[in-house]
Chain A
Amino acid sequence: MNDPQRLQDQADTLKTNIGAAFPGSRAVMRGKDLHTDLNDLDWLELYVFGITGRRFTTEQVQLLHGIWRLTSYPDARLWNNRIAALAGSTRSSPGLGLAAALAASEARIYGAGPGLSAYDFFTRAHHACSAGQALENIVADTLAKQRGIGGYGRPLVSGDERIAPAMELARRSGLDQGPFIRLAFKTEDILLTGRWRWRMNYAALVAALLLELGFDRMSYHLFISPIFFAGMPPCYLDATNRAEGLTFPLSCGTISYSGLAERRWEQASRQAGQTRGEKTNKEKGHGQKNSVG
């Protein structure tokens, strides 16, 4: 078993190189003074510096901005945005609504789920292709093991309008012909010619772009976590500008019930009562139930 000394060594004091606030004086992030050394960074540059400890070129920063900007859709029907809108409708606070919407973006069918799946696929495929394997075989193996490849296909439609403008930004930063981008498009070619007819979607392209920029898996995950964020405040605001409760009201008729027919709880109680004596005997049979094993 373990020694509690490991916990004891970390108790009371946070030992770190990541940063600290010195209230009334200064703040440090990754060994740099926030108010002087980093004062020329825009917010997104600071965000990725906090994640990676790296500085990026102007073109790369524009691309990173674009990756967030291009998918900032102020459409309250979208599932994560809807949470922000419903928070506005019920007159909850902006912070609560936005935080919940942000948390929901780590979803299985959109956001972080497909993105991480694509990231993992490209990492694996790049390694395997470098070792001489054919991409077609890697795709087939992946599809045999899992039902799809994250970032290919899209829940609502097949095409993705964000690909072209993102690729334009990638071209400006010289990343449009990188190995992961080529891998992403070659994978799309394979999936389009097969029976799947899946097009690449934005999640795959962003994963490939962030791989080109050298983001490791956790850095990538942290970068994409707020990727939809700019679309959420307008949805909250729009709902607060409407009268309370008038965003997505649902009538009783909206509920389409297909469960059990009406029944009486006393019947459930009576059925439960029939087993009560049996259960009591069982409990009596465990007279030492509070003993510690």
Chain B
Amino acid sequence: MTQKNPQERIHTTIWHEDAEPDNPFAAARCRCHGYDVYGDMLGQASWIEYLFLLFRGEAPSPGQARLLEDLALVLANPGPRDASVHAAMAAGVGGSPSAACLMAALAVGAGGLGGAREVERVMQQFRMWGTELAMWQQKMPDYAQMDAGGIWPAAEHPPGFDPHGVNCPTPIRQSLAHLSSLSDGTCLPWLQHHRQALETFAGMPLGIAAVAAAALIDLGFGAAQGEMLYLLLRLPGAAAHALEQRDSGYKKFPFFRIELGNDPGPTTLRNHDIE
């Protein structure tokens, strides 16, 4: 089979392919950042190592792999009360396609309240303010300026904190303590050490977005990479809960009451009133 030289190009530093001799549209060998994925990595590398390699371009150290793996466990299922999982279940319960369930989880879990945008904002703050507690205290009140002018609604609370929280919930404290013990970086230990001071500055308890952001920075990811990974790592729970609700059926799923403040009432009644 002859292969014309393609005119269009995809430029990448991540992926290289050698074609099968009989088909230019089928790959015989795929290399990811230089490693032969199916001929060398398969059987030797773990999924989490491959994930790290894809984003960072290098294999993780065992410590980095462990930290990313445990972060993935922390994030895998926010639980059915979380808005992103709620959205996935709302898709699932009506029998929407599986991809729609995940798209729902991604869309709802993308924003500034506990979502990937919040993680991105906290990572930006770490980039700007480092681990200078005084800087966080000074700059944190300007949260509304984060992302100003873009497609995202303006931040309504200091990123990384829970505007509806009372105290930092146990799973977040457990996650922060555990992940900070694994980190070779500075952000997670700093967050663990200064959590209560930061909560006082914010006037609200720490949220999981801040823990994830600190972990992702300590793993060497940039803010955009962190945003993407956070979206990715929260999907397993959304998928599982969506499937469960699909099987369970809508009659067992909350529909909620509604109070309509300006209900005009049935049209026939209104016409009768006019007469």
Q: Which residues of A contact B (CB under 8 A)?
A: 1-4, 6-7, 12-17, 19-20, 25-26, 28, 30-33, 35-37, 92-93, 95-96, 99-100, 103, 106, 112-113, 116-117, 120, 218, 221, 249-266, 268-269, 271-273, 275-276, 279, 282-283, 286, 288-293
A260 CA to B100 CA, complexed, in Å: 37
In the complex, which of the residues B63, B177, B184, B262 contacts A289, with contact meaning CB atoms closer than 8 Å?
B177
Does B205 interact with chain A (Cβ within 8 Å)? yes
Name the 9 nearest CB pairs between A and B, nearest first: A289-B181, A259-B13, A268-B59, A286-B181, A257-B16, A252-B19, A260-B34, A31-B262, A251-B24
- B153 nearest CB across to chain A (Å): 8
A255 CA to B26 CA, complexed, in Å: 12
The closest CB in chain A to the CB of B25 belongs to: A251
Q: In the complex, what residues of A have CB within 8 A of residue B145's CB?
A: none
Q: Is B150's CB under 8 angstroms from A254's CB? A: no
Among B126-134, B162-170, B230-238, B241-249, the stretch in contact with A: B162-170
Does B41 interact with chain A (Cβ within 8 Å)? yes
Q: Is B203's CB under 8 angstroms from A1's CB? A: yes
In the complex, which of the residues B17, B60, B173, B267 contacts A292, with contact meaning CB atoms closer than 8 Å?
B173
Q: Is A289's CB under 8 angstroms from B256's CB? A: no
Q: Is B176's CB under 8 angstroms from A262's CB? A: no
Q: Is A7's CB under 8 angstroms from B164's CB? A: yes
Q: Is A95's CB under 8 angstroms from B59's CB? A: no
Does B35 interact with chain A (Cβ within 8 Å)? yes
A260 CA to B31 CA, complexed, in Å: 10
Q: In the complex, what residues of A have CB within 8 A of residue B45's CB?
A: 265, 269
Assuming the contacts A257-B15, A289-B181, asked whether A93 and B97 have C-beta atoms less than 8 A apart, the reply is: yes
Q: Is B3's CB under 8 angstroms from A251's CB? A: yes
Q: Is B259's CB under 8 angstroms from A252's CB? A: no
Does B274 interact with chain A (Cβ within 8 Å)? no
Q: Is B205's CB under 8 angstroms from A255's CB? A: no
Q: Is A14's CB under 8 angstroms from B178's CB? A: no
A37 CA to B265 CA, complexed, in Å: 12
The closest CB in chain A to the CB of B176 belongs to: A293
A262 CA to B155 CA, complexed, in Å: 45
Q: Is A92's CB under 8 angstroms from B99's CB? A: yes
Q: In the complex, what residues of B have CB within 8 A of residue A96's CB?
A: 97, 99-100, 103
Q: Is B166's CB under 8 angstroms from A116's CB? A: no
Does B140 interact with chain A (Cβ within 8 Å)? no
Q: In the complex, what residues of B have CB within 8 A of residue A250's CB?
A: 6, 8, 10, 25
Does B56 interact with chain A (Cβ within 8 Å)? no
